[in-house]
Each structure stands twice: as structure tokens, then as C-alpha cells.
Amino acid sequence: MLARRSLLAVGLVAMAACAAEQPPPDTAELDRWLRRYVDLLNNADDAALANHLNRAGTTEAADRISRYGRRGLVVDGISTTSEFERIYRTRIETTAADGQRVTMSETAEWDGSRWMIAPLIG
């Protein structure tokens, strides 16, 4: 029993050390991920957007398409500000096909393997 506990303790310490040694997220990859997000909104591809958002089986993609989709958005710029470790406030500045400026503010999180954004509110 003591050996099992010691092994468990060593495993937990190793896991914590690995978690602490993970490199910081690549914000250039976040930029590419957000640009793909805008492309999917423009294409109004519900299934692909749900997959991109990692929210299959929810109305999240349809809600986002309803709010921002099919507008021919062109990304003018993306800014990111680190809020906490692995959490970024993003601002996507776009221009729609009709010339209207559209700004999307999102909270992005790096989970260690992929980017995600917080669900829409309202």
C-alpha cells in the first residue's frame, strides 16, 4: 500500500511539473484561428463552425452565424491582450461587404491543445 501511494505521489508531481513546463500559447496561431473563424462565419457553414468552436450539438454556431455570418467580412486587424495565463481578450476589426465596420470582441482560451472562445452572451 505504501508503494502504491508513493507511486501515485510521484505521478502527481510529474504531472504538475509537465503542466508547469508547457510552453506559452502561440498567439500567431490564435490569429490564424480567428481568421478561420471569420471565414466560417462568411460561409455560414454551421457544421464546420461548430467543429471549429468545439461546440457540436449546440446552437452556438447557428447563433454566431445569425449575428455575424453571411456579411462578407474582411478582417482589418486582430488585437490580443493577455488577461490571465492562457486567457486572451481579442478584438477582431472587420469591414462588411456593404462597408459597415463590424467589431467582434471575444475571450479566447488555450487549453493546451487548441484555442476556444467563450460562448456568446445574449
Could you state, in order of their start, the residue ranges of all structural domains in the chain? 23-117
Burial of 64 (0-12, 13-18, 19+ CB in 10 A): buried
Residue ranges for the chain with pLDDT beneath 50: 1-17
**0.85 surpassed by pTM:** no
Under CATH, what is the fold of the domain 23-117?
Nuclear Transport Factor 2; Chain: A, (3.10.450)
**C-beta separation of 78 from 106 below 8 A:** no
Q: For the segment 76-100, what is each residue's pLDDT rounded down to a tens digit?
A: 999 999 999 999 999 999 999 999 9
> In one letter, which amino acid is 110?
W
**pLDDT at residue 20 in the model:** 56
